[in-house]
């Protein structure tokens, strides 16, 4: 199956009757695969993006995930674009995809759901680097205020209040309401699909950022294995104090 087969719809184009502004729009990167344990954080990110009025969610990956992303975005009343691909990339690879979509959308503010999956967190910095944007991670509250965005972020034991002006990539850790079950999403007709070549990305070149295939680790069930796992979290102490 070629990438074109996976992207049957035409790339997103700027059209005259498109009510969304081309400059200064907000994009929300939902990631390349579904949430690890709960869609609560995905819903929270969508609701936060909806505060901006003209936000567009971006997702990449396989069809079931794109359908879920489009469904949750639609429930928050924001549009969604999908980049169908079976590539499994590292943080720099996905950042290239997001940056390309953001350029095509004209988005200067990129929100990233950094809580749903741990591997998404470093993508905040990578996207910011590619777009030459400011970055702000660990944001737990966000409020647009004209050209300024007010953000509260976690910095150690403190809650920092920040003001963001201009181009920025913001990592969100904002939960939606509790949700136990949700309906299986149906394929989205409204989601715009962008294939990699239409974004100026060569899948073969991008493939150099592919992660090596790894099997998922089963839960460690002995004290020795859990100790080995937790050892990387032990609070470091120096001999000098």
Partner 1 sequence: MGAVLVHIDLDGERPHPSSLSALAAGRAIASSWGATLYAALVVHDAAADRAAPDSTAQVMSTQQVPGLDKIQNVLARAGADKVIVAVTDAPIAPLWAAVGVPWQGVLDHLRPRLVLFGADAPSATELGPRTGARIGARLLQRARATGGDQVELRDRDGGYVRASDGGAAVALIGSGRAELVGDEDIDLVVLVYPGGADNRIEIAGSSPSELAHTLAPIVALGDDAANDAETVSAAKRLAKQLGAHVVGGPSAVRAGAVVPAAVVDRHTPLAPELCIAVGSIALDLAGTTNLVRIGPSSGKGVEGALAGSPSANLTELSRGLEGDSR
* Cβ 101 to partner 1 shortest distance, Å: 17
**What token pair was written down for 105?**
């959308």
Cα separation, 38 vs 115, whole angstroms? 10
User: CA Rg, the chain, in Å?
Assistant: 19
- Cα separation, 191 vs 180, in Å, equals 25
- In terms of CB distance, is 79 or 139 closer to partner 1? 139
As given in the structure block, the two tokens for residue 96 are: 């290239």
**Minimum CB distance to partner 1, residue 201 (Å):** 16
Q: What is the spatial distance between Cα 95 and Cα 29, in angstroms, rounded to a whole number? A: 10
**Residue 195 token pair:** 């294939």
Q: Please tell me the distance from the alpha carbon of residue 129 to that of residue 1, in angstroms, as a whole number.
A: 33
Smallest gap, in angstroms, from Cβ of residue 2 to partner 1? 28
For residue 193, the minimal CB distance to partner 1 (Å) is: 27
In terms of CB distance, is 3 or 167 closer to partner 1?
Answer: 167
**Shortest gap between Cβ of 145 and partner 1 (angstroms)?**
12
**With respect to partner 1, which residue has the nearer C-beta, 1 or 219?**
219
- CB-CB contact of 97 with 120 (8 Å): no
Q: Are 162 and 170 in contact (CB under 8 A)?
A: no
Nearer to partner 1, 14 or 225 (CB): 225
Choose between 184 and 217: whose C-beta lies nearer to partner 1: 217
């Amino acid at each position: 199956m070629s990438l074109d087969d996976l992207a049957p719809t035409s790339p997103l184009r700027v059209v005259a009757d498109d009510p969304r502004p081309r400059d200064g729009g907000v994009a929300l990167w939902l990631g390349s695969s579904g949430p690890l344990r709960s869609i609560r954080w995905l819903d929270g990110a969508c609701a936060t993006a909806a505060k901006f009025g003209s936000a567009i969610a971006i997702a990449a990956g396989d069809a079931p995930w794109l359908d879920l992303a489009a469904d949750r975005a639609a429930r928050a009343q924001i549009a969604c674009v999908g980049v169908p691909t079976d590539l499994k990339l590292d943080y720099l690879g996905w950042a290239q995809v997001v940056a390309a979509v953001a350029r095509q959308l004209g988005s200067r503010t990129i929100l990233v759901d950094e809580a749903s999956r741990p591997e998404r967190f470093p993508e905040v910095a990578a996207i910011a680097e590619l777009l030459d944007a400011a970055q702000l991670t660990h944001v737990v509250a966000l409020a647009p205020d004209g050209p300024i965005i007010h953000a509260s972020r976690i910095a150690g034991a403190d809650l920092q209040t920040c003001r963001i002006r201009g181009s920025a990539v913001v990592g969100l850790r904002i939960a939606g309401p509790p949700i136990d079950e949700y309906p299986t999403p149906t394929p989205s007709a409204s989601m715009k699909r962008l294939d990699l070549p239409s974004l100026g990305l060569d899948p073969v070149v991008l493939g150099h950022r592919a992660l090596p295939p790894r099997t998922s680790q089963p839960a460690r069930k002995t004290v020795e294995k859990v100790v080995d796992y937790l050892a990387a979290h032990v609070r470091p102490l120096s001999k000098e104090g």
